Structure 1
Amino acid sequence: MFTHFDFFGKEEIPINISKREKKIIELLLEQKNGVTLDFLTEALRVSDRTIYREMSSLESTLAKSQIKLVREPDKGYRLIGNAIALQELQENLHDSSKELSVQQRQSILVIQLLLNEEEVKMEALALELQVSVGTIQSDLQSIEEIFKDYKIEIQRKKSKGIKAVAEESNRRLIISGLISSEINEYDFSRLLESFSKKNKESQWVKRENLFLNLLDEQVLTNVYYVLKEFDQDFFKQVTDTQFQKLIILLTFSIMRIKQGYTLESFHTPLTTVEDSTSVSIAKGIFQATQKRDAIEVNLAETYFLALQIEGLNVHIRKEFFSEGYDADLSFKVSELIRRVSYQMDWDFNQDETLYNDLLAHISAAVKRAMAPMPGNVSSLLQKIHSQYQQLSLVVEENLKEVFTDIEFLPDEIIYIVIHFASTYEKLIARQHVSVLVICSSGVGMAKIVQNRLKKNIPEISDIATSRISQLDQLELEDYDLILSTIFLQGFESEYKVVTPLLMDDEIKSIRMSIKQLLSEKLKKQPSDTKNLVTSPIEENEFKTFYHKMTIVNQLFERFDLKKWQNHRNIEELIESICLYLEEEAVLSNPEKIKWKLLERMTIAPIGLPGTNMALFHCIDSEVTVPYFAIYDIPASFVMDSIDKGTIEMKRVLMMLGPEPLSEAAQEVLGLISSAIVESDLNLEIFNAGSKKLLTNYLNALFLEKYQKQ
């Protein structure tokens, strides 16, 4: 049995009719006393026979709405029915005149399939969507490609129809995502505000938006009030679009729970999920919801909501040195930056904020990719993709190679491109590019070239103009690029010949030259890493500069690179280090810390690819001070690495922190952990560096960090 869902408002006639038939109905509604055959043939510019045929078809269509189409000898054709039926016909005709886009039609088709548990006949879908069966068949081919990504199968049975076979979690994600993508953020905001004002101002929104009719208004109201309570503490940094998606998903989930469609199980990738902040938030949201709506919520529902919260662009837990620190993700983000830098011939590592921005964004994007909601790539995002076409292609290609087990949605890829593009623009803005324009036709022509350059190539900082007779008065080496409107016989400096009007292909060529020039400038600048390694910075200078930062000094006073004795296995090795740290007053319960470090190793690999070292880390109330040190061992241990390979560990990086961890300690330890995997050179420094080299590097790292603040 096909379940009809009220996309088009009230119960209405199935307006599966031609434009000509709609026009006839409009004329009949306008002329309540009737219209003659001659009037109709003239208005529609068709023959009498065509009008007879259309009227015969309309008579049966209108009868379904208890409206009669009659022909009277003197008055012609007119409609007979009660006032309510005629009013509804008028409204339905108005609504049906707003034709759906292909995307909207396909979205409704997807929703109809996912909401129906039984087979649906194509004829019923065609009638519902006011299109032919052939159009439905064509739409299904497009939809099946999308369904593959969600492991949804379309089953076809002769005489019965078609059915979508899907997990409940995927049904919710797709339907709520499609609803959200078809609702304007401004309209949705006004709708929510109307709930607060307790008025009926929202009705126009609901009438205008077919997709909003799928949501239960009372459930939506309850969800809005609940999430508004949590907004101040947890969702302040969430975008309007993300908050809208969360409201709609939770609303639809509660509707499904009330209808009996409860998640029986939900496998989440969240580490130590029972203790994660997102799960705590999800539990709190459901507890508040149950006070407004009588629903039973199991653990699977809580985990499902928690994963959606994990996918928000907001720091709901400490990102650096904490139980939630993800060494695998940190390594992959650094690898992505390295690969994009190499292929674009542009050192993106020079922007220290890029790594942190990407780590935060990709962490959220990975969670979203585990349970993605469909979304549309906006025109703005498409414009960005077009403007940074090469960068977009390079980023997309390397995302696939670095994050092999994740499929990023198109809009996620473009948002990641935006981070790289922002860094590109910032690095360009820091450079000084000067151009000399040589023109033989006087100042006027030179000004034309100058203005064209300013308008089309904003990377240029200074533009100077000169006549040929003035060249001997200039220091030509002061200019990064020389342009000339004429050929200069015997001119020794490198230059480009251009036309005074600067055609598009010339502008493109100049931009390429400047990009190459800027790339060379960036390469010539001493990189941060090289400075940190070679700068003769004394530890005393570091301590003087940070005399108020006691926590930082404590850490560096304890930093050491120790030659450690051999042990039969990793457990004995870690136990011996923990016992030593108890003597050094770094921790008070060596047995507990030992097992916590070993447990983290079983949860996720800690070996660093291409090296002989592993990063053992944890925070615990039994740790008394922030601590970082390195231990070299005589014999190696084979262990898993974060790239799913193996390493032979000969160096232990030990990083510990007290719980709760202060912001200063979190920043210090976080900066070290991210610096380790920032580049191949850094990996080699920590893998093989001496105590002197490492001390110098770490001191300089923090000195540079805080000098910038």
Structure 2
Amino acid sequence: MYVSSRERNIIRLLIKEEEALTVQQIADHLRVSPRTVHRDLKGLDQVLARFGLKLNRQAGIGVSIEGEMADKQALWSAVSRLSFSEYTPEERKAYLLSSLLESSEPLKLTSLARELKVTPATVSQDLSLLEGWLDSFDLRMIRRRGWGVMIQGAEDARRKAMRALIADSFPEEELLHLLKEPAQTPSLGRVERISQRLLGLLEKEHLAVVEEIVRREVSALPYALADSAYIGLVVHIALAVERIGRGETLARTSPETGKDTREFEVAARMAKELEDGLHLDIPEAEVGSIAMYLRGAKLRDEKRDWPEEADVEIAMKAAELIRFVEAETGVKLTDHFSLKQGLIVHLERAVYRLNQNLRIHNPLLEEIRRGYPRLFGVIREGVEQVLPHLSVPPEEIGYLVMHFGSFLERRETAGSIRALVVCSSGVGSSKLLSSRIRKEIPEIKQLTRASLLELKELDTDRYHLLISTVPLPPEYEGYIRVHPFPTKKDIQNIKDQLPRCQEQAGDAKALLPEDGVSTLKNVHEWTGHALALLKGFRHEKVEDPGETPEALLYPILTRLEKAGVITEAGQVLTRLMEREKLGGMGIPGTRLALFHTRGGGVERSSFTVHSLSRPVCIRGMDQSEMEVTTLLLLLAPDKISRAGLDLLSWISSFIVESRYHIRIFESGSPLRVREFLTEHLLRYLQEMTTDKER
């Protein structure tokens, strides 16, 4: 079988895109003329027929490959093993960038041209096209006649460019496969010669060691990592190991990387294991870089480990963004806890990444832009208004669009079919895909999202449908492969399975009582926490607030100790003041201060409000001194259920949801605050129950 390099790239493009593409779109992608594409398409009919596939040409729509996904994968596996003597512009770009980023010496254009089998003039043109990409990483290309070409810039910037190049060149499922079987790279059908050059940035034997250490240490973190973040962390560390081995280390540790954080502790353990296993000396700056990556990659499945210093300030930003989108779209959004909570989690990580200049990769960016053009523009405008001091890139905007897009498409559904949706990360694209499925197929009642890494831990027999955006191992027979933005054909493929699923659902009614009991247990737990919090709620006047936060807090904590809420007022006060030193507790633009802590010395969760007879000066979250007239105090024990954490997290964001909420808490009226809190707690419970049933 003979397939030219261009024909191979047409096959790859049509399999990857799934939707029909016009000849002009293919030509633009390959940087050739439409006439050339027409000529290449003629040669593909016989090749496709050997695999039971057909080239479908539809006037006014475009060209697509028709057939089963398994046959398409077999075709691409066979084609990718063929050798080719020519490279596409994109392949040349990847080769040139990987060579230049890896080298600390100038490279000759003639040598690069010989490797790529093109003329030096073509290499020179390709290099000119790369300068803008390098500029985005603060890297500079130096070119001199007779001397060669090289890249200059900081080591940190060079590594960021390497990571971005790898992320842009490999789908996440390929990198997951590579991490699991690093010694079997040639078995990856889609890993071609240029791809091998890119993977040369990562030593395969070291990659296996790094992946094992990361997997072991990450499991000790109190939060999960999405597959994409897990892969990114392994690549981040593997690149660091390779660069350190070449004598290229980072200049310094970021001052934002605290040595007393859990992330730094985990990073230090990883570094120690790498030093022992690979006989390397890993500087502290490298440990700090790993810790920074961990802090920027947290994923809590939108379930927060309450409380953290940035909660309230980020909650205010999230509420402001929600109000902006609500005003622009005309859709009521402000009363929905799940949307707000997910947005808070994402914004917190996004703001940290932006402040630390950590880039994020969004492989679905262009599809998000095409699928939600108006919403993309609305959220971009909203972010500019809410975060005016930050330059938020399109990649981050895209993930925010996915948060809002999935919610805006959600509809009340009824039915009895259960589906498991598998995506590379388990969030983001899977949430959006789930919303699309709910919208198009109301017969599916329950949709559970999972990442590729989480799939092994699940009992897939409990689901009538297994839907995945990534290829699954052979043991998962009968799954439906779809695009993250499902096409009409994807939806139809799912609908075609409904009669079978409905029959199975009718035969499996025994599963329903268990789900019903689970829902009732959740409702009981949420209600129990809400009632306990209301029962212990206090709103009291403080006649002598003192002059300092310590003087204000100690009498309050002493009264809570007598009430049995806490066991040691001094211990809790120490933790509160340590937290206050880290970031301030005053809520900017208000006369409120929210002090909160979780840990030993607290017997049960507590929320109390304290109106001060005169203002007390307290440091705000924006580091400015402010006058406070109302103190809010949230306390949580060290051991608390997820439902309890959810409730406390909701309260911390609910307080600053709007100016009206703030005025209620500033009012000093115990009855008004209690009634307001009770009313919204009921709404919270109703939404949590509804959301759980979905």
Query: TM-score range, shorter-chain basis?
Result: 0.5 to 0.7
2:163 pairs with 176, 180, 190, which one? Answer: 176
Matched, 1:399 2:383: yes
Q: Report the 3-state secondary structure (helix = DSSP H, G, I; strand = E; otherwise coil) of the residue aligned with 1:635.
A: strand
Tell me if structure 2 keeps the 8 A contact 1:333–1:355: yes
Residues 1:388 and 1:173: Cα distance change in structure 2 (over 3 Å): same
Among 77, 82, 85, the alignment partner of 1:97 is: 85
Cross-structure match for 1:437: none
Cα pair 2:611 2:668 within 8 Å, conserved: no
Q: Is the 1:179–1:211 contact (alpha carbons within 8 Å) kept by the matching residues of 2?
A: yes
Name which of 270, 274, 277 aligns with 2:262. Answer: 277
Q: CA 1:623/1:229 → structure 2, altered by over 3 Å: closer, same or farther?
A: closer
Which of residues 320, 323, 329 is equivalent to 1:335?
A: 320
| Aligned equivalent of 1:556, options 531, 534, 537 | 534
1:295 aligned partner: 280
1:692–1:199: structure 2 CA closer, same or farther, 3 Å change rule? closer
Unaligned runs of 5+ in 1: 1-18, 20-93, 431-457, 462-544
Residue of structure 2 in register with 1:365 after alignment: 350
Residues 594-644 of structure 1 show CA distances to partners (whole Å, capped at 9, x for unaligned) of 343233223223322332111111223123332221112233245454456
Counterpart code for 2:612: I
How many angstroms does 1:417 deviate by?
0.4
2:233 is the alignment partner of 1:255: no
* Structure 1 counterpart of 2:556, from 571, 574, 577: 577
Partner of 1:246: 233
Q: What are the superposed Cα offsets for residues 196-237 of structure 1, whole Å, 9 maximum, x if unpaired?
A: 8x7974698364623123321211222233344457666996
Checking the alignment, whether the CA contact within 8 Å between 1:620 and 1:658 is kept in structure 2 is yes
Alignment counterpart, residue 633 of structure 1, candidates 612, 628, 643: 612
1:594 aligns with 2:588: no
Which amino acid in structure 2 is aligned with residue 357 of structure 1?
Answer: G
User: Contact (CA 8 Å) 2:309, 2:582: kept in 1 or not?
Assistant: no
> Which residue number corresponds to residue 291 of structure 2?
306
For 1:194-593, list aligned pairs within 5 A.
194-195=181-182, 201=187, 205=191, 207=193, 209=195, 210-229=197-216, 238-267=225-254, 269-270=256-257, 273-312=258-297, 314-315=299-300, 319-323=304-308, 326-369=311-354, 370-373=356-359, 375=361, 377-378=363-364, 381-426=365-410, 552-564=530-542, 565-593=544-572
Q: Could you tell me how far apart the structure 1 residues matched to 2:384 and 2:292 are?
A: 22
Match for residue 659 of structure 1?
Answer: 638
Paired residue secondary structure (1:349): coil
Q: Normalising to structure 1: TM-score of the pair?
A: 0.62
| Cα distance, 1:591–1:361 mapped onto 2, change above 3 Å | same
Relative distance call for 1:352 and 1:662 in structure 2 (3 A) is closer
CA 1:589–1:257 in structure 2 vs 1: closer, same or farther (change >3 Å)? Answer: same
- Calculate the TM-score normalised by the size of structure 2: 0.63
Deviations 1:136-186 (A, max 9, x none): 665556544444443334456786555433332222222122123212444
CA-based RMSD: 3.8
Tell me the alpha carbon deviations over residues 651-675 of structure 1, each in whole angstroms, 9 at most, x when there is no partner: 1111222224443432332221121
Contact 1:626 1:657 in 2 (8 A): yes
CA positional deviation for 1:358: 1.4
Q: 1:178–1:375: 8 Å Cα contact kept in structure 2?
A: no
Residue aligning to 1:443: none
Q: CA deviation at 1:120?
A: 4.7
Going from structure 1 to structure 2, the CA distance change for 1:396 and 1:142 (only over 3 Å counts) comes to farther
What is the CA-CA distance between 1:429 and the residue it aligns to? 7.7
Counterpart secondary structure, 1:343: helix
Change in Cα spacing, 1:629 to 1:138, as seen in structure 2 (3 Å) is farther
The answer to whether the 8 A contact 2:545-2:551 is kept is: no
| 1:392 Cα offset (Å) | 0.5
SS at match of 2:547: coil
- Give the partner amino acid of 1:181: D
- Given candidates 675, 689, 692, the residue that maps to 2:671 is 692
| Paired residue type of 1:686 | F
Rate the CA distance shift 1:580–1:322 in 2: closer, same or farther, 3 A.
same
Q: Cα distance 1:581–1:638, how it changes in 2: closer, same or farther (>3 A)?
A: same
User: Deviation digits for residues 259-316 of structure 1, max 9, x if unmatched?
Assistant: 222334221635xx33433334333433444453222233322221222223335229
Separation in 2, partners of 1:405, 1:128: 46
Q: Distance in 2 between matches of 1:257 and 1:349?
A: 49
Distance in 2, matches of 1:236 and 1:97, equals: 47
CA distance 1:148–1:587, shift in 2 (3 Å)? farther
2:584 counterpart residue number? 605
Alpha carbons of 1:663 and 1:423: their partners in 2 closer, same or farther (altered >3 Å)? closer
Deviation at residue 425 of structure 1 after TM alignment: 1.3
Match of 1:619 in 2: 598
Which whole-Å CA distance do the structure 1 matches of 2:638 and 2:224 have between them?
A: 26
Cα contact 1:194–1:201 (8 A) shared by 2:
no
Q: Distance in 1 between matches of 2:610 and 2:165?
A: 54
What does residue 435 of structure 1 align with?
none
Larger Rg: 1
Between the aligned partners of 2:124 and 2:385, the Cα distance in structure 1 is 36
**Cα offset, 1:257, TM superposition:** 1.9
Q: Which moved more, 1:341-350 or 1:125-134?
A: 125-134
Identity of aligned residues (%): 25
Distance 1:427 1:190, change over 3 A: closer
What code does the residue aligned with 2:304 have? E
Moved more, 336-345 or 562-571: 562-571
The residue type equivalent to 1:183 in the other structure is F
| C-alpha distance 385-125 of structure 1, shift in aligned 2 (>3 A) | same
The one-letter code sitting in structure 1 at the alignment partner of 2:366 is Q
> Which of 241-250 and 308-317 deviates more?
308-317
Q: In structure 2, what is the Cα distance between the partners aligned to 1:387 and 1:638? A: 49
CA distance in 1, matches of 2:548, 2:181: 65
Do 2:178 and 2:185's aligned partners in 1 also have CA atoms closer than 8 Å? Answer: no
Distance 1:642 1:613 in 2: 11
1:317/1:324 contact within 8 Å kept:
no
- Give the number of equivalent residue pairs: 501
Q: Is the 8 A contact 1:308 1:367 kept in 2?
A: no
Question: Residues 122, 550 of structure 1: CA spacing in aligned structure 2 closer, same or farther, 3 A cutoff?
Answer: same
How far did 1:337 drift? 0.9
* Inter-partner Cα distance in structure 2 for 1:573 and 1:290: 49
- Asked if structure 2 preserves the Cα contact closer than 8 Å seen for 1:337 and 1:348, the reply is yes
Mean alpha-carbon deviation: is it higher for 366-375 or for 257-266?
366-375
